[in-house]
Chain A
Amino acid sequence: MDLLQNLAMGFGVALTPANLLFLFLGSLAGVIIGALPGLNASMGVAILMPLTFGMDPITGMIMLCGIYTGAMFGGSITAILVNVPGTSAAAVTCLDGYQLARKGRAGAALGMTAFASAIAGVFSVVVLMTMAPALAKVALKFGPPEYFALCFFGLTIITSLAGKSMIKGIIAGTVGLILATVGVDPVGGVNRFTFGKVELMEGFNFIAVLVGIFAVAEVLVTMERSLHLSFYDARVSGLLGTKQDWKDSRGAFVRGSIIGTLVGILPGAGATIASFLAYAEEKRWSRHPEKFGTGVIEGVAAPEAANNAATGGALVPLLTLGIPGSETTAVMLGALLVHGLRPGPLLFTQQPQFVWGVIASLYVGNLIGLLLCTVFVRQLAKVLKVPNPILMPLILAFCFVGTYAVNNSLTDVWIMLVFGVLGYLMKKFDFPAAPVVLALVLGPMVENSLRQSLLMSQGNLGIFFTRPISTVLLALAFLSLFTPVLGAFREAKQKAVAG
């Protein structure tokens, strides 16, 4: 009963004209950002976040959620029409999506991905809505040792899953943690690594770092590649698909939704992994796996369901524990902090209107995404033809003013530029950027909870292993850290034996 009352309250918040308008604008911007190759959800949320500063926190967050879900919807448009994924989460959609377009079934492919995304998105919000309050209640019992163990677990998963090389992922995370120590020491009040700069006393401006590492770096990478894309000039019709399409996609909708939601909940394993897993699973379940890659409708429905379901899943750890589960939720955590809100279990009791307003807006956002990707998809396909030599400078100008707007400071702009170059070099040398950002967010939490725990135990590290929740979380953290190491070791040994 409580659930329905809370949901009704949430819809009351989400359906006010202003919130609905900004949700629509956010979803529209998200679909366009998701569809444009080189731009993705985290970048979109990062560069448009400064626009929310002048808004009520609920309205701002609703708009950011619109961008997040919209980007997942949009990613498939270019994957199907151009064979270039709009976001990495839509990469696997290219395999069958583009083949369907070549067979003259671009409309059906786009339509089924939109329906798959909407159904899975709604499913994941139902899970979020039912699971999050219960998890928040458990999290209320967390003390510093549990928080330390949780943050540590989150960091280990993120670093071990990110990028091609695990060691580079962990190095990136460690560098991020070191950067997070810049500023006033949270326990002793001593200035650390600020070089006398007042601007650095609160650490690096999170938004400047985000915009630099995600947006500016991405622009530089796009600039390096060819600036021109060739569109497959497909006629977009038959968006509702045939009866057979719906029959073939039923299983994909269900499996994609479940896989996406579960993977999304895991810290670090975001939409991209979810979509690849869902595709592989769909192929395994199929009676004709050999046809995958030649243009089968399940091949687009499953990954698109999974990547959209991952968005609702990723919000579970963010809203209940204050731990970002993905790059984009890390950016959203930054936005919440800027708005003076501290995500975590207390948010459910102290700001119920905010939490339930956001949850309700996710339902509406998925419907708006469906509307945009079915009714307006032809118009959206035209927007994608804005050439990169015009688009990229516009994005840079947006990054610039957005970063400046946070503190009205050119120092932040310099920080953005430095991290932009750093992010670009990281991409070039296969160092994943996500661990740096997540470590920057989690770093202060890790340090605070570690030092508070040690104060509680008078310096005894045993405190982490005498409390059941922290023991389990630390065991999981070590497991997630050492399983890939053991796997790599075994692989190397097998290679040595074979070669």
Chain B
Amino acid sequence: MERANLIISILLFCFAAFVLILALNLPEPPDLGTGMLGPEFFPLVLVGLLVLLTGILFAGQMRERKRNGRKSGEEEWLPRGEAFQRIAFVLGGLLLYIILLGVLGYIAATAIFLAVLIRALERYRMTLILTVGLFAAIGLWGVFGWWIKVPLPKGPWGF
């Protein structure tokens, strides 16, 4: 975890620098009197705090690394093999789902998303997969589209 923490520290420093630049470039509101603090005040305080805390994390990890040696104590911190595949399926499926929504409409896109994802995760019978996908899509549409009246995206066939 030490290496991961060092990388995270560097990313947090970058994030702090990014917020700092944005905060320093914020427009000033008209002066409303003594004690009136600009919009950059709070973000700047927080950036300062983040840099301080990240510095502590970074220094602590460097000390640990020095004590344990470079290679000891390193563990896998990202999924590999099948676990990675499943995560990739989910994220890829969600991206595909968002794209399909605009094209096919809510019910069809949801049914396809569910069927593809379930099939990717486990080899159930296709009839079961399609039934679950279709019924769940219609059920969710019934609750949100029909009952709560959320204007869900429609496909070329009007639903």
Residues of A within 8 A of B (CB): 50-51, 53-54, 167-168, 170-171, 174-175, 177-178, 181, 185, 187-190, 192-193, 219-220, 223-225, 227, 387-390, 392-394, 396-398, 400-402, 404-405, 408, 410, 413-414, 417, 421, 424, 428-430, 447, 450-451, 454-460
Q: Are the C-beta atoms of A190 and B29 separated by less than 8 Å?
A: yes
Q: Are the C-beta atoms of B113 and A389 separated by less than 8 Å?
A: no
Asked if B136 is an interface residue, CB under 8 A from chain A, the answer is: yes
Q: Are the C-beta atoms of A451 and B37 separated by less than 8 Å?
A: yes
The 6 closest A-B pairs by CB, nearest first: A188-B29, A389-B122, A185-B39, A389-B121, A459-B35, A54-B148
The residue on B at minimum CB distance from A220 is: B87
- CB interface residues, B 72-122, toward A, < 8 Å: 77-79, 83, 86-87, 90-91, 93-95, 97-98, 101, 106, 110, 113-114, 117-118, 121-122
With a CB–CB cut-off of 8 A, which chain B residues contact A187? 29, 36-37, 39
A168-B57, A414-B98 as given contacts; A224 in contact with B83, CB under 8 Å? yes
Q: Are the C-beta atoms of A174 and B49 separated by less than 8 Å?
A: yes
The residue on B at minimum CB distance from A182 is: B43
With a CB–CB cut-off of 8 A, which chain B residues contact A174? 46, 49-50, 53
Most chain A beta-carbon neighbours within 10 Å: one of B1, B79, B93, B106: B79
A168-B57, A390-B118, A393-B117 as given contacts; A53 in contact with B148, CB under 8 Å? yes
* Complex Cα–Cα for A193 and B43 (A): 10
Q: Are the C-beta atoms of A393 and B114 separated by less than 8 Å?
A: yes
With a CB–CB cut-off of 8 A, which chain A residues contact B98? 410, 413-414, 417
* Complex Cα–Cα for A192 and B24 (A): 11
Q: Are the C-beta atoms of B60 and A167 separated by less than 8 Å?
A: yes
Asked if B14 is an interface residue, CB under 8 A from chain A, the answer is: no
Q: How large is the interface on B (under 10, 10 to 19, 20 to 34, 35 or more residues)?
A: 35 or more
Q: Are the C-beta atoms of B77 and A223 separated by less than 8 Å?
A: no
Q: Are the C-beta atoms of A223 and B152 separated by less than 8 Å?
A: no
- CB interface residues, B 19-34, toward A, < 8 Å: 19, 22-23, 26-29, 32-34
Query: 8 interchain pairs (CB within 8 A)?
Result: A167-B56, A171-B53, A174-B49, A400-B94, A401-B140, A408-B150, A430-B1, A456-B35
The residue on A at minimum CB distance from B110 is: A397
* Majority secondary structure of chain B interface residues (helix, strand, loop or mixed): helix
Question: A212 to chain B: closest CB distance in Å?
Answer: 11
Q: Are the C-beta atoms of B57 and A167 separated by less than 8 Å?
A: yes
- Of the candidates A178, A390, A392, A397, the one whose C-beta lies within 8 Å of that of B140 is A397
* Complex Cα–Cα for A457 and B33 (A): 11
- Of the candidates B28, B29, B53, B118, the one whose C-beta lies within 8 Å of that of A393 is B118
Question: B51 to chain A: closest CB distance in Å?
Answer: 10
With a CB–CB cut-off of 8 A, which chain A residues contact B57? 167-168, 171
A189-B29, A224-B86 as given contacts; A181 in contact with B46, CB under 8 Å? yes
With a CB–CB cut-off of 8 A, which chain A residues contact B35? 454-460
With a CB–CB cut-off of 8 A, which chain B residues contact A430? 1
- CB interface residues, B 36-59, toward A, < 8 Å: 36-39, 41-43, 46-47, 49-50, 53-54, 56-57
* Complex Cα–Cα for A371 and B105 (A): 41
* Complex Cα–Cα for A480 and B34 (A): 33
A168-B57, A192-B26, A389-B121 as given contacts; A397 in contact with B36, CB under 8 Å? no
- Of the candidates A189, A224, A450, A459, the one whose C-beta lies within 8 Å of that of B87 is A224
With a CB–CB cut-off of 8 A, which chain B residues contact A417? 91, 94-95, 98
* Complex Cα–Cα for A135 and B76 (A): 49
With a CB–CB cut-off of 8 A, which chain A residues contact B144? 50, 401-402, 405
Question: B98 to chain A: closest CB distance in Å?
Answer: 6
- Beyond known contacts A174-B53, A430-B1: 20 more, CB 8 A cutoff: A174-B49, A175-B12, A187-B37, A188-B28, A192-B43, A223-B87, A225-B83, A390-B118, A393-B117, A396-B90, A396-B93, A397-B114, A402-B144, A417-B94, A450-B42, A451-B42, A456-B35, A458-B33, A459-B35, A460-B35
* Complex Cα–Cα for A456 and B19 (A): 28
Q: Are the C-beta atoms of A394 and B114 separated by less than 8 Å?
A: yes
With a CB–CB cut-off of 8 A, which chain A residues contact B33? 455, 458
Q: Are the C-beta atoms of A458 and B90 separated by less than 8 Å?
A: no
Question: A499 to chain B: closest CB distance in Å?
Answer: 10
Question: A463 to chain B: closest CB distance in Å?
Answer: 10
Asked if B157 is an interface residue, CB under 8 A from chain A, the answer is: no
Question: B88 to chain A: closest CB distance in Å?
Answer: 10
* Complex Cα–Cα for A392 and B120 (A): 12
Q: Are the C-beta atoms of B34 and A405 separated by less than 8 Å?
A: no
- Of the candidates A51, A167, A181, A397, the one whose C-beta lies within 8 Å of that of B53 is A167
A167-B60, A188-B39, A408-B150 as given contacts; A223 in contact with B50, CB under 8 Å? no
Question: B90 to chain A: closest CB distance in Å?
Answer: 6
* Complex Cα–Cα for A184 and B67 (A): 47
